[in-house]
Amino acid sequence: MLNPGTKLGPYEIVAPLGAGGMGEVYRARDTRLDRNVAIKVLPAQVTYDAERRERFEREAKAISALNHPHICTLHDIGREGDTDFLVMELVEGQTLAARLEKGPLPSDQVLRLGLEISDALDKAHRLGIIHRDLKPGNIMLTPRNGAKLLDFGLAKPVVTPNSAATAMLTASKPLTKEGTIVGTFQYMAPEQLEGTEADARSDFFAFGAVLYEAATGKKAFEGKTTASVIAAVLASEPAPMSSLQPLTPPAFERVVNTCLAKDPDERFQSAHDLNLQLRWIADAGTQAGVPAPVASHRKNRERTAWVIAAVLGLTTITAIIVAMVRAPKPVQPAASVRLNAELGTDATLSDTTYGASAILSLDGTRLAFVAVGADKTRRLYVRSLDQMQATVLPGTEGARDPFFSPDSQWIAFFAQSKLKKISVQGGPVVTLCDALDDRGGSWGDDGSIVFAAGGLEGLSKVSSAGGKPEPLTSLNQQTGELTHRWPQVLPGSKDVIFTASTSIVQFDDADIAVYSTFSGKPKTVLHGGSYARYLPSGHLVYLRDGTLFAVPFDIKRLDVTGQPAPVVEGVASNPDNGGAQFSFSDSGTLLYVAGSAINADVSTYWMDAAGKFTPLRETPGNYNNLAISPDGKRLAMDITNGNRIDIWVYEWERDTLTRLTFAGDSNIRPIWTPDGQRIVYGSAEKGAMANLWWIRADGGGDAQRLTEGKERQVPGSWSPDGKVFALFQNNPGTSWDIMTMPVEGSEKTGWKPGQPKPFVNTSATEVYPAFSPDGRWIAYYSNESGPGEIYVRPFPGPGGKWQVSTGGGVMPEWSRNGKELFYRTNDSKIMVVSYTSSGDSFHADKPRLWSPSQFTDRSVMKNFSLHPDGKRFAVLKAGKGDTTPPPINKASFIFNFFDELRRKVPAGK
């Protein structure tokens, strides 16, 4: 026990508030900020167990980010001598446990409690944080601010069951591992008692037990001994709430019973859905006290669906469900039915960072998905929903972003920088055309395919029989558009919905646009999302921040007719490229991969020719466009933080990271001057077109503008003498071209950049210029021959042209030794080419793999940089501290989804 006046760092103990098995709590005073706080002194097993302290500190960092009116805020953690402590918001009031000693809460207070705590859980679960010990003693009732959830995920008792799993549980463990139990018995989910890992659904079980107790005054699971309590949770059902409180609304009892389901898959799958159900009950008022007209039908339908799932063991969707999918719609809208199902193969879903990896055929009879098997190779699988197993389609190695033909008999996909197709029955793979770095496609009912061949261009169109693609849309240079992607051809094949963006790293703020062949021009119909799809229900659905939104859409007027509303939480998506994991059938079924917006964080590593990775900066971040300084001691990069992208410099010997840019919101691709004094970067400061700027590398002085024009420009490379700068520019009529710009002056006399002039400007895309060490050559990327390759031309020219790479390549980098040229493959491996030159002649040997290792793909961003010693690269790679999603072998189905949309988002006028 600490005495009043005791100091723990800057905090002075005032008085004790309580004590228990998990520590002592005190009222304290923060002497720095002059505010009252609560101090929780942690028990000895945390203080003296290094492994547990590591977990505690890791979780504390995550939980400190929680900012919600119904979650007690964690302000600080500290250590004074041998005492570890938490500093929390001081919450005045009484615990729910203390209040329930007087009896159950009134029904309106129970609903309010449910809404507030479920909203708090939703906030935490979105951040990947679960409570693990939700109980009345961890809920504080305050006079003014409603309920507050305490002790979120920290310092929980961990106990291990004995072989009988029914003896007294007293052994402590430092981490939550398989085979250990965390929590309080009456509120612990069955899976926790059985020793498996808790997830968000375990919180819902505990929450159901809390609501049951708050409404009835009785615990849902009781017993005279620990063993009998555990047995009750595992095998017994609580007494019906209506038998204890006759006025309990049936709808509310159904919510609680769903929370208390023994099988986690039968509970609510997201706190948001749980909150919506409670909100509906609250809004319905007394009407929630009687069964709705379709309650019996809905109850039977839900029971049928879950019986089916139980019979299948969540491993297959049989002909029974297919019959449900194909069944004609009743006159009265049917209730939606949700279930999770395994894919029907030992492979796991792959490449969920782009377009949908699992898709439904439009007729609702087949599932196609891209997965990785035991040989680590990505292939296309197809499965009829009336069969138990999926079938691999040979010849589809490397597949991604599949989509069905309108008759559901073919599947188009992208692989090896090509657009291809294959019959759903298997057979030969047909190559249709080149597609360097796709961003999705769609098959129209007129036999044409609209697709995005790359990440920095408009949409193209090609016959489904194959041929030469034709441009369909052009980027709007006046608005600074950088990309059109993720198209969907609308019925009739006259119009196309797609995602347009002025950023290539943040698509939550992208535009949803529609291209009409009648007008020949795109128009924006919605702002703030990506991956839009038109549904036969008369809605557009799209993703933003891991949530599927819907808005009424008039397909004749090609315009929205109402306000967007969220309809499905927890859909896997990638805000960095706009991709999303959902699909639908015309029969009204939605298929999606559960998850969240993908964490784009990576770490920086050294990679050598042997394939060994050595940490450079393991702290995860959304890093891109690496550039090592000429002296080999600093690493420049752009870092995305929220909606901002800024240039930073990392000095690894001092482990310091310095931010250089503060103006504008999109500062990208740093390039060092040859003397290492300055960094050139691209920026759209002050609302202007993205041109070139530079700034001192030590952060001194203000940024200065190097170019000013109407065309978008991206930095490329300096000549060794620092007198010429190469860039690539998006020119009208010729797309991206290589330009060179003279730069005269000095630090003393000032600098005078000249006018950029074309170096390579054909109808093809030419980007990523790189000067050779002697300044005589420029290597660059071009797709003039179809697949993008690396070429070399003499500078300043004229002269010949030599293709260096074979099989595709991007982003060339020269070694200082004057003998080697490196480049990156499309799957993020490093190739090297030995070369010789004489006069105006250049000779390149056959490319060879420099290192067997692969690093993290960052699309069109530069994810590697060669050190001046020529023996190692700085690369971006998911590290041990990064959030790596677990293998995915399940998909989620919502049947009768269109009827649900019509109820939730009625069509506008």
What is the average pLDDT value for the chain, to the nearest integer? 83
Average pLDDT over residues 684-712: 83
Amino acid making up residue 251 = A
pLDDT at residue 625 in the model: 95
pLDDT at residue 150 in the model: 83
pLDDT at residue 404 in the model: 97
Residues linked to residue 652 through DSSP beta bridges, in sequence order: none
Average pLDDT over residues 605-613: 95
Whether the predicted pLDDT of 717 surpasses 60: yes
Whether the predicted pLDDT of 133 surpasses 90: no
- How far are the Cα atoms of 625, 650, 668, 884 from residue 640, in angstroms, in the given order? 11, 15, 9, 19
Closest CA to 783 of 378, 438, 351, 505: 438
Residue 523's pLDDT band, with cuts at 50, 70 and 90, is very high
pLDDT at residue 55 in the model: 61
How many DSSP H helices and E strands does the chain contain? 13, 65
Whether the predicted pLDDT of 884 surpasses 70: no
pLDDT cut 70: percent of the chain above it: 84
Residue 47's pLDDT band, with cuts at 50, 70 and 90, is low
Which range, 383-397, 433-447, 810-824, is most confident?
A: 810-824
**Does 133 participate in catalysis according to the annotation?**
yes
Whether the predicted pLDDT of 685 surpasses 90: no
Distance CA 559, CA 526 (A): 9
- How far are the Cα atoms of 214, 363, 803 from residue 330, in angstroms, in the given order? 39, 19, 63
Mean pLDDT lowest among 90-104, 350-364, 737-751, 832-846: 350-364
pLDDT at residue 580 in the model: 94
- Does residue 715 or residue 324 have the better pLDDT? 715
Average pLDDT over residues 521-546: 94
- Does residue 329 or residue 896 have the better pLDDT? 896
Mean pLDDT lowest among 9-23, 297-311, 717-731, 810-824: 297-311
Report DSSP letters for 807-844, one per residue.
Answer: S--EEEEE-TTSSEEEEE-TTS-EEEEEEEEETTEEEE
pLDDT at residue 345 in the model: 78
Single out the catalytic residue among 84, 119, 133, 401.
133
Distance CA 603, CA 721 (A): 33
Whether the predicted pLDDT of 285 surpasses 90: no
- Does residue 53 or residue 630 have the better pLDDT? 630
The contacts of residue 60 (CB under 8 Å, 6+ apart) are 74, 77, 86, 154
pLDDT at residue 300 in the model: 39
Quick: pLDDT tens for 17-44: 876 545 688 899 999 888 999 888 876 5
Report DSSP letters for 445-493, one per residue.
Answer: TTSEEEE--SSSS--EEEETT----EE-----TTTT--EEEEEEEPTTS
Decide if 44 contacts 23 (C-beta within 8 A): no
Residue 725's pLDDT band, with cuts at 50, 70 and 90, is very high
Quick: pLDDT tens for 199-233: 889 999 999 999 999 999 999 998 776 667 777 88
- Does residue 116 or residue 173 have the better pLDDT? 116
Whether the predicted pLDDT of 609 surpasses 90: yes
Average pLDDT over residues 601-618: 93
Distance CA 681, CA 706 (A): 10
pLDDT at residue 656 in the model: 94
Average pLDDT over residues 816-825: 94
Residues 258, 260, 261, 267, CA torsion sign: positive
Whether the predicted pLDDT of 319 surpasses 80: no
The contacts of residue 830 (CB under 8 Å, 6+ apart) are 607, 822, 823, 824, 849, 850, 851, 864, 873
Closest CA to 83 of 150, 7, 15, 148: 7
pLDDT at residue 222 in the model: 85
pLDDT at residue 333 in the model: 58
Quick: pLDDT tens for 58-70: 667 767 777 888 9
pLDDT cut 90: percent of the chain above it: 50
Amino acid making up residue 235 = A
- How far are the Cα atoms of 602, 625, 667 from residue 639, in angstroms, in the given order? 11, 9, 9
Residue 373's pLDDT band, with cuts at 50, 70 and 90, is confident
